[in-house]
Amino acid sequence: MKRSYPYPWLAREGWPIVSLALVLAIVFQLFAWWFLALPVFLFFLFALQFFRDPSRSLPADLVGGVLCPADGRVIAIELVEDPFRQVPSLKVSIFMNVFDVHVNRLPVGGMVLQRWYHPGRFLNASLDKSSLENERNALHLRTAQGQELVVVQVAGLVARRILCYLNEGDRGVLGQRFGFIRFGSRVDTYLPPDSQVLVTLGQRVRSGAQWIAQLPELP
């Protein structure tokens, strides 16, 4: 059974930018300033596709399932130390280019135990060191079953703003829209090390529409 997860087609984060670009393009066209109207209109089209927020249906139920938090390409699946909790973890990283949907969705439902924000650099988000050196925002989540994981929004080369709408103590539901990153970025998810990964390196994935992993059962 699938559960509908509708949102407006255009993300609210893009409304001011898209509206301003359209108004400027119309004004420039009215004054026959084609040399200005054309690039602004092209930017308007780019902004439309960048800020799109398509409706997604959650996949069939999976006990312990970890939902894909971002659109993009899987660029890392590796055992590492979670830099926020300092515990062994399985990291799954998804790189979003400027043509991907940039809405971020919760990989699990549950309580936000902690939220961390770290200012940093703006390296290419596809580089491994960007997870530790770039500007980033992290949420420490605990499911109703007691499993804990961390999902991290990482700024990229041209990303200049990370938006997150959850704070410590908030409760979120599976697939909930929790944030947005403007203009190229990545999302890292730190899972218990014995989690089962359900995606492969290089695979294209869609947020809110597929499972990327299954958490182990607690003893």
pLDDT in tens, 138-178: 999 999 999 999 999 998 765 567 889 999 999 999 999 99
Spatial separation of the C-alpha atoms in residues 183 and 121, rounded to whole Å: 15
Say what the pLDDT of residue 204 is. 97
**H-assigned helices in the chain:** 15-30, 34-50, 130-133
Q: Do 194 and 213 meet the contact criterion of CB atoms below 8 Å apart? A: no
Say what the pLDDT of residue 157 is. 64
Task: Supply the mean pLDDT for the chain.
Answer: 87
Spatial separation of the C-alpha atoms in residues 89 and 98, rounded to whole Å: 28
- Summarize pLDDT for 76-93 with one digit per residue, the tens: 999 999 999 999 999 999
63 CB contacts (<8 Å, ≥6 apart)? 214
Say what the pLDDT of residue 1 is. 32
If phi over 0 gives left and psi between -120 and 50 gives alpha, with beta otherwise, what is residue 110? Answer: left
Burial class (CB in 10 A: 0-12, 13-18, 19+), 207: buried
Positions of the chain with pLDDT under 50: 1-5
Residues that are catalytic: 185
Give the CA angle between residues 122, 156, 76 to the nearest 5°: 120
Say what the pLDDT of residue 181 is. 85
Query: Which CA distances in Å does 94 have to 41, 120, 128, 194, 198?
Result: 30, 19, 11, 19, 13
